Chain A
Amino acid sequence: MSEPTISTRRAGMDRYGFTSPAPRPEGLADILERVLDKGIIIAGDIRVNLVDVELLTVKIRLLVVSVDKAMEMGIDWWKRDPMLSAEAADAKELADENRELRARLEELERDRE
């Protein structure tokens, strides 16, 4: 029942609990809740469509626990979802390109026959 107390957690740490250059990994849920939904919200010169960000937040809220946790559970569908992953988008382009090349090769071979 007893959680780590503030005194033990803070022993030897600075105000925000850093002892080393690598902070202890924290749940993605809490970090996203803080950095996407809160803080000073003012417009920058680079206009990010807030609707996009909110959509993304909704997507993340609905879909994923955290990347690590999801990977642990063997969930990595977003890697194959071109909407969510540049890797997947690249892979898809590559696959499309391959298909096109194969078709052209077949055509050429037919021509030679």
Chain B
Amino acid sequence: MSETGTYVYAVGRNIDEEPLTGLEGVGDAPVRLLGHRELKAVVSSVDLAEFGEAALRRNLENLSWVEKTARRHDEIVRRAAAITTALAPFRLVTIYKSDDAARVRLEELYGDLVRALDRVDRRSEWSVKAFCRVRPGPSAPSAPAGSGVAYLERRRAEIRDRHEAATEQQLLADQLFWDLVPAAAATRRLSAQDQRLSGRRETMALNVAFLVDDDRSTDFFELVDATRARYPSLDVEVNGPWPPYSFAVLDKP
């Protein structure tokens, strides 16, 4: 490896190195820990020929590189999260010139990082998405062909129906969200994923991240199950537990 940098995946407390040995990070270098006070940063060395500024600009435009790197980053974060109660994942491609440079940054942010870790300690993230089930639209009575006025009226009615249905689904999705809030320690509403990205034809009416206490995760899951039965027009998808990506954030200065 020529010139190298230090890639930071996450910072946590009480992480043992042993369960992480043998893991390969992005760019296939071994994952290791970098200690600073009681914090441990999960890092690996990266070749700047691949992860330097110019290279990154190029690589981030290459979808297969991004996918490979994102999956590896996520895997390392999950594995680290699995062996501690408090872990704050870092954003993809946070890289320092050396271990020492990374330590300096940890010291600068020490107080903020500790507060971020306190917020997510013993908690995990759950994703809840609700999709509008496709309903067979009310078939408008067929107007006599050739009648322009009838056609326009029919079109107007269809558009009105569609708007009303969408508004109704949105209200239901909001209601569903509020039904689940009591079981969570924090929530973050995310924008609906594009249909092409979610891979589903149905419109996404709700995309929320819930931060849930680990010892209440069963309650949360049961509440989701009980709640989804009351919203037959929504298809509710639950995923988790994930490391608290949406909630490990620094206070705004």
Contacts and interface: CB of A to CB of B under 8 A. Distances in A.
B57 A48 contact: yes
Contacts, number: 166
B30 interface: no
A45 B100 CA distance: 12
Contacts of A15: 81-82, 124, 214, 241
Contact of A49 (B57, B73, B116, B197): B57
Contacts of B62: 84-86
Given A40-B90, A67-B63, A83-B61, A16 B78 contact: yes
Interface in A22-47: 23, 27-36, 38-42, 44-47
Given A16-B242, A28-B70, A66-B199, A42 B90 contact: yes
B196 A30 contact: no
B35 interface: no
B8 interface: yes
A60 B82 contact: no
Interface stretch (B135-143, B156-164, B172-180, B217-225): B217-225
Contacts of A67: 63-64, 67
Contacts of B63: 60, 64, 67, 78, 84-85
Contact of A35 (B11, B70, B237): B70
A83 B61 CA distance: 6
B74 A35 contact: yes
B96 interface: yes
A40 B87 CA distance: 11
B93 interface: yes
B101 A45 contact: yes
B78 A18 contact: yes
Contacts of B74: 31, 34-35
Q: Which of A31, A38, A52 gathers the greatest number of chain B CB atoms within 10 Å?
A: A38
Given A30-B239, A32-B70, A46-B53, A39 B88 contact: yes
B95 interface: yes
Interface in B67-105: 67, 70-71, 73-75, 77-79, 81-82, 88-97, 101, 105
Nearest to B108: A42
A33 B66 CA distance: 12
A8 to B, nearest CB: 11
A15 B19 CA distance: 14
Interface of B: 5, 8, 10-11, 48, 51-53, 56-67, 70-71, 73-75, 77-79, 81-82, 88-97, 101, 105, 109, 113, 116, 124, 127, 190, 193-194, 196-199, 214, 217-218, 221, 225, 228-229, 237-239, 241-243, 245-246, 248-250
